[in-house]
Amino acid sequence: MTDIGIFLGTDEIADSARDAERLGFESVWCWDHLAGRYASLAPEVVLATAAAVTERVRVGYGVLLAAVRPLPLLAKEVASLQYVSRGRLLVGVGDGRGAWERWHGGLRDAPAWDALGVRRADAEARTEEALRLLPGLVGGEPTRFTPGGVEITLAPTAAAPPLLVAGGLEDAVLRRAVEFGAGWFPAVISPAQVADGVRRLRRYADEAGRPVPPVTVAVPIQLDVPAGEVAAARDALVRMVVDAYEVDPGHAADVGIVGTPEEAAERLAAYVEAGADRIVLSGGSVAGWRTGHELLARTATLLAG
């Protein structure tokens, strides 16, 4: 069965997380955006709050911008969240250079990186270092950092959380997921593109003699549009994914969902058939998170059959 998670907003985080658990969602997620067009909270605060008021639901970075943080401090943050959540943390990892981060997260160009003291050109290398070292650091293994050769051992220790490599169909992203034993975490992608990615993941995993990475897909969704406004809402969503995510206009109509829970469940079934092990839903209702949660839960129930 495909797991269903949801993104938390910035309002009433504790109540929202408790409600997500009550409704049976598998996980709750938080963005990690520095700045940008919408309000954005520090993800470690949101996830710690969610973990503190729940018992079962998993808490996830969707996604963590590892490249803009000093790795020892980042590892301490991740280890602490894994510890206080009692092993419920999921860590999506991105390099901060994707279209969504540039559009929404204030990392549109080099000056934003300069303000953080990080060269944008180093983003990929810093992200790969995080993927390589985080599991051992969180697990309490002595880890040597360069430059300087300083060895650090974190405590308290916790089991290393699952890592997910954020990105689309780029060859480097898919191979990175296989190399680091991580999941693949694309966003704003069509079912056909997911199926293509899964085929390639299987091939790369077979070549490397490694397990096939699990697949988590983030999907934007809106479920309470009046019948006479659905076409306009779909057009607006297409424009958003083209502008925000730089999706090819030819694929944009197959990305994101506007409609009833019944229509949404039918659309989401295509992602399941394509190979998605988890679907994380973003949005739900313009009427607020409570209405959105109920509609998303109805959709998840219909999808499960």
For the ranges 17-21, 67-71, 152-156, 250-254, the maximum mean pLDDT occurs at 17-21
188-192, 245-249, 263-267 — which is least confidently predicted? 245-249
Percent above pLDDT 90 for the chain? 65
Mean pLDDT for 47-52 is: 98
| Residue 305 located in a structural domain | no
CATH assignment of the domain containing 97: 3.20.20.30
The model's confidence at residue 281, banded by pLDDT at 50, 70 and 90, is: very high
Q: Domain tally for the chain? A: 1
The single-letter DSSP state of residue 214 is P
Mean pLDDT for 120-149 is: 88
pLDDT of residue 104: 59
| Residue 86 located in a structural domain | yes
Domain that holds residue 120: 3-215
Does pLDDT of 189 surpass 70? yes
The single-letter DSSP state of residue 195 is H
Does pLDDT of 262 surpass 70? yes
Does pLDDT of 109 surpass 90? no
Phi, psi of 132, rounded to the nearest 5 degrees: -75, -40
CB atoms within 10 A of CB 232: 12
| Residue 223 located in a structural domain | no
The model's confidence at residue 243, banded by pLDDT at 50, 70 and 90, is: confident
Mean pLDDT for 40-52 is: 95
Closest Cα to residue 69, out of 122, 136, 30?
122
Side chain identity at residue 161, one-letter code: P
Mean pLDDT for 28-49 is: 86
| Residue 91 located in a structural domain | yes
The model's confidence at residue 3, banded by pLDDT at 50, 70 and 90, is: very high
| Residue 25 located in a structural domain | yes
pLDDT of residue 81: 96
| Residue 124 located in a structural domain | yes
Three-class DSSP category at 181: coil
Q: Which tokens belong to 39?
A: 């309000």
CA 261 from chain centre, in angstroms, equals: 22
Does pLDDT of 37 surpass 80? no
Does pLDDT of 38 surpass 70? no
The pairing of strands 89-94 and 163-166 is parallel
The model's confidence at residue 185, banded by pLDDT at 50, 70 and 90, is: very high
Cα–Cα distance measured from residue 45 to residue 52, given in angstroms and rounded to the nearest whole number:
11
Q: Which tokens belong to 266?
A: 């039918």
Q: Which residues pair with 221 in a beta bridge?
A: 257, 283
The single-letter DSSP state of residue 223 is -
| Residue 140 located in a structural domain | yes
208 contact partners, CB below 8 Å, separation of at least 6:
178, 179
| Residue 298 located in a structural domain | no
